[in-house]
Amino acid sequence: MAQSVYEELIRRFIEAKIPSPRLEARLLIAAAAGTDADNISSDTVLSDDAKKRLEKMAEERLKHKPLDKIIGHKAFYKYDFIVNENVLSPRPDTEILVMAAADIIHKHNVRSVLDMGTGSGCILLSLLKDFPDLHGTGIDISDTALQTARSNLKKLNLNLRQADFFQTDWFNDHILSVHGAPFDLIVSNPPYIPGDEINSLDTEVKDFDPKLALDGGSDGLKSYRRIAEISPFLLSSKGFILLECGAGQAQDIIPIFTLNGFEHIKTLPDLAGIERCIIFRKKDCI
């Protein structure tokens, strides 16, 4: 009976210390049944095929594969994004950056945005969806990540002309001539985990998020130094840059940018009160 399937799954999730066992059980049953979680109740009856799908997904979850990477999508900000092994799973903390960027776009008549390390495209596409007249460019070193971002562009029913995606490595000087520059706004959630800390992260992150999306070099700040060096050439006069950072990194990142001709506007905390999003503005003189 479906009820016993549901309860049995909750019991196994509690035993394996899966966070939010009830919610996750409902979401997995919904995915196996091909319906929305809202439609799942204790009387939901699963077909034999759905039960088999559920068992396979439950076993993956018990091995700590993240739920979104099993069901293939994740809610972020106001929208739902395709996710897979090629992209970083969108995090609720990153929604802070999207909200701050939306506020700047609204107040400063921003027309173009560059997302450096777009991954699933969750930041860029959320902004394009909110602002139909905004043009967006997403770059990433990973071609498979860009394929996911393009799939998300279609999933969100955006006009294909609203965005361009380019595969490029920002440590290469080709980045300076990326099509569409200069941009009014740059957003980025770059890799920021110090290389030797990656192995101590949770299994869900270290085994299932791409290393490329996590590894910020020996002190975690390698990408910020490069972004500070190149962004004066990629931004319009008085353009803004919004960056996500790791816990305790903001105070080291701020001088990197102020020494490269940026004014620090403010730093915003995430949902846990950790400094997570830094806002800079390019000074007039450069």
The residues of the shown chain that bind ligand GLN, judged by CB under 6 A, are 88, 90, 94, 117-120, 122-123, 189-191, 213
In angstroms, the CA 239 to CA 228 distance is: 13
Q: Which residue is nearest to ligand GLN (CB)?
A: 119
Beta strands across the sheet bearing 275-282: 163-167, 135-140, 112-116, 183-188, 235-244, 275-282, 262-269
Q: How far is the CB of 94 from ligand GLN (least distance, A)?
A: 5
For ligand GLN, which is the closer residue by CB, 110 or 125?
A: 125
Q: How far is the CB of 237 from ligand GLN (least distance, A)?
A: 26
Q: How far is the CB of 133 from ligand GLN (least distance, A)?
A: 22
For ligand GLN, which is the closer residue by CB, 119 or 239?
A: 119
For ligand GLN, which is the closer residue by CB, 123 or 127?
A: 123
Q: How far is the CB of 191 from ligand GLN (least distance, A)?
A: 5
Tally of CB atoms within 10 A around 63 = 11
Q: How far is the CB of 14 from ligand GLN (least distance, A)?
A: 29
In angstroms, the CA 253 to CA 227 distance is: 11
Q: How far is the CB of 246 from ligand GLN (least distance, A)?
A: 11
CB 134 within 8 A of CB 113: yes
Q: What angle do CA 64, 83, 81 make, to 5 degrees?
A: 130
- Looking at residue 215, the DSSP 8-state letter turns out to be B
| Phi then psi dihedrals of residue 190, to 5 deg | -75, 170
For ligand GLN, which is the closer residue by CB, 21 or 138?
A: 138
In angstroms, the CA 21 to CA 184 distance is: 43
For ligand GLN, which is the closer residue by CB, 190 or 239?
A: 190
Tally of CB atoms within 10 A around 141 = 16
**Closest Cα partner for 215 from 196, 231, 228, 200?**
196
Q: What angle do CA 266, 272, 274 make, to 5 degrees?
A: 40
Collapsed DSSP state (helix, strand, coil) of residue 233: helix
Q: How far is the CB of 212 from ligand GLN (least distance, A)?
A: 7
Chain position carrying tokens 């799908």: 53
In angstroms, the CA 171 to CA 175 distance is: 8
For ligand GLN, which is the closer residue by CB, 122 or 250?
A: 122
For ligand GLN, which is the closer residue by CB, 123 or 241?
A: 123
